[in-house]
Structure 1
Amino acid sequence: MLGAEAADLLDAPGGARDRQLLRGAALRVYEFHQGFAFVEAEADGYTGYLDTAALAPAVQPAPNASVACRETLVWEAPNARSMARSRLSFGAGVHVLEEAKGWARCDIGHIPANHLNIGRRPQTDPVEVAERLLGMPYLWGANGAGGIDCSGLVQLACHACGIACPGDSDMQAAELGQALPESARLQRGDLLFWKGHVAWVSGPDQILHANGYSMNVAYEGLSAAMARMDDAVIARRRL
């Protein structure tokens, strides 16, 4: 399990980021090499290297709650004036020991209870989940710690709703939901894919995506986006 707030999943020891893992992510560890562990993320089968310091101790309790807002802090005491010791992103997992007076005492400190999805209940609207990250900076390969990319936004929202989802947009285009014919009328929650890019349909002639044009998670008019992009839509999927 990942014990750090977040960790980059690298293509080689000390290499480039392929994806990103958040605290509480379940992992299979296959080998250790030069201070790095070669791991597989159980949620999507993604493999890569991460710093061994990011791994949780073997006795770490399994998460029973996850961060439900864009980000939260972990306080030393259940008091807004106490010191904050760390920062967690949407979807990060913690183990709640007890709730009292609006605070959750967790394995790593205290978090406002309304910042958590205690019991990790599946959400029902992936677009609403993605909307919680509006304005987050675009960061290629990231899943919400310091930034996020297009496929990370789709994966994070799907996982919050209990929907299995791979990490890369090409795999998402092949595996998520059902293919839509070009004649089908788009509706909220549909996914549009371009070469190397994916966006949620969030409303009539509107998409929501993490993109390198505005460099953040943003709404954009679908007609304007299609006029701006050089590549045509290559897939339309409905969950």
Structure 2
Amino acid sequence: MTRDLDAFDLDDFDPADFDRRLHPVRSDLAAAAYRGRATSARFVEGTAMQVAADSVALRPAPDAARSIDTEALHGETVTVLETREDGWAWGQLSTDGYVGYLPQAALVPAGPPPTHRVAALRSFRYPRADLKFPPLGCISLGARVRVVDRTTTRGLDYALLDDGSAMVARHLVPLDRTVSDWVAVAEAFLGTPYLWGGRTSLGLDCSALIQLAAAEAGIAIPRDTDMQERAAGTPLDLAAGFEGARRGDLVFWKGHVGVLQDARTLLHANGFTMTVASESLDVAVARIAASEWGAVTALRRLTIRS
């Protein structure tokens, strides 16, 4: 199963300074765990909240006009450290430790923990166990729900959720269920639009593609490309080039990442096609070196632990 925030030693990412993306520390406020380590004016324990929206953007500032950093998925937990009169909350996502601002309206108090996650690219939530009813929303791969019962309507099995809604049961798996080929999950995103900061099957960026797909194999990795280049899997010898490269190896550039489908084919969400696309590794390396991110900076290999 995938592990949440405690899977990472977040201090390893930036030993010199607090990274605003991973450390809930401001000059005026910080999480209580940073007492004695930060010089903030006030420290708080925070309140566990849960994402009730289909998904919600996290931003670096309480401003809807700012570009998003990432997205929190339905059912994920956020430790809220501050709620503001203008409707924004500041907190930390439990799944990968990301810190940011999000609308309070997207959150509800955390209840009993989820039991299942969405394993399809996306799936509808219905007001009752009947696909003919207008859906309440559409949640993406990796979203979390709590199943309390099951029923069958006209031969189709539904999972009944603790909020009274229903979902097609085959689109859900228990939280501890994993896949053996996480690259196949990434391949299912082919054609998905590229979206800076996106983390859903409606639009996502290069590092989110890797993070979401790897999570289906129980591999918890950080959110952004620079974090993944430092902490995801184990490094390979870049001096050897792509000799010995295999399916599932990660290829990094400064600000970009893709995964090998085989020794000569790269899969990546990218701003060139504006989609998740598959292309010749040689073609991608040459194009990116000439016009985008420069030379390859690292190769890393993820390991699935049984």
TM-score by length of 1: 0.94
Residue 40 of structure 2 corresponds to none
Does residue 18 of structure 1 match 2:81?
Answer: no
Q: 1:17 aligns to what SS in structure 2?
A: coil
Matched ranges for 1:118-157 at <5 A: 118-144=174-200, 146-157=202-213
User: Is 2:275 the counterpart of 1:232?
Assistant: no
Matched, 1:40 2:92: yes
Residue identity in the other structure for 1:168: D
C-alpha displacement at 1:18, in angstroms? Answer: 0.7
Equivalent residues of 1:3, 1:57 under 8 A apart: no
Q: Aligned to 2:52, what secondary structure does the other structure show?
A: coil
- Report whether the alignment pairs 1:103 with 2:162: no
- Shift of residue 223, structure 1, vs aligned partner: 1.0
Which residue in the other structure is 1:4 paired with?
53
Please say if 1:62 is aligned against 2:118. no
Judging changes above 3 Å, is the alpha-carbon distance between structure 1 residues 3 and 145 closer, same or farther for their aligned structure 2 residues? farther
**Can you give the 5+ residue segments of structure 1 that lack an aligned partner in the other structure?**
none
Counterpart position of 1:173: 229
Could you list the per-position Cα deviations for residues 201-239 of structure 1 after superposition, in whole angstroms to 9, with x for gaps in the alignment? 111311111111111112111111112112111000011
In 1: Cα distance, 2:149 partner to 2:176 partner: 15
Q: Does the residue aligned with 1:84 lie in a helix, a strand or coil?
A: coil
Give 1:53's aligned residue. 105
Separation (CA, whole Å) in 2 of partners of 1:134 and 1:127: 11
Instruction: Name the Cα RMSD after superposition.
Output: 1.4
Identical residues among aligned pairs (%): 40
Aligned pair partner of 1:190 in 249, 252, 275? 249
Q: In terms of Rg, which structure is larger?
A: 2
Q: Secondary structure at the match of 2:108?
A: coil
Asked if structure 1 preserves the Cα contact closer than 8 Å seen for 2:52 and 2:106, the reply is yes
Instruction: Output aligned runs, 1:75-94, within 5 Å.
Output: 75-94=126-145
Q: Is the 8 Å Cα contact of residues 192 and 201 (structure 2) preserved in structure 1?
A: no
Distance 1:2 1:145, change over 3 A: farther
Amino acid at match of 2:298: A
Question: What SS is found at the alignment partner of 2:199?
Answer: coil
CA contact (8 A) 1:129 1:160 kept: yes
1-side partners of 2:132 and 2:159: how far apart? Answer: 16
1:129 Cα deviation after fit: 1.6
The letter of the residue matching 2:277 is: A
Separation in structure 1 between the aligned mates of residue 82 and residue 180 of structure 2, nearest angstrom: 38
**What SS does structure 2 have at the residue aligned with 1:229?**
helix
1:113 is aligned, of 157, 165, 169, to 169
- SS at the partner of 2:212? helix
Unaligned runs of 5+ in 2: 1-49
CA distance in structure 1 between the aligned counterparts of 2:92 and 2:171, rounded to whole angstroms: 28
| Larger mean Cα displacement after TM superposition, 192-201 or 33-42 | 33-42
Larger mean CA deviation between 87-96 and 70-79 belongs to 70-79
Q: Secondary structure at the match of 1:66?
A: strand
**1:76-111: CA deviation from partner (whole Å, max 9, x where unpaired):** 222222221211111111111112231111134111
Partners of 1:32 and 1:227 in 2: CA distance: 47
Q: TM-score, normalised by structure 2?
A: 0.74
Contact 2:229–2:298 (CA under 8 A) maintained in structure 1 = yes
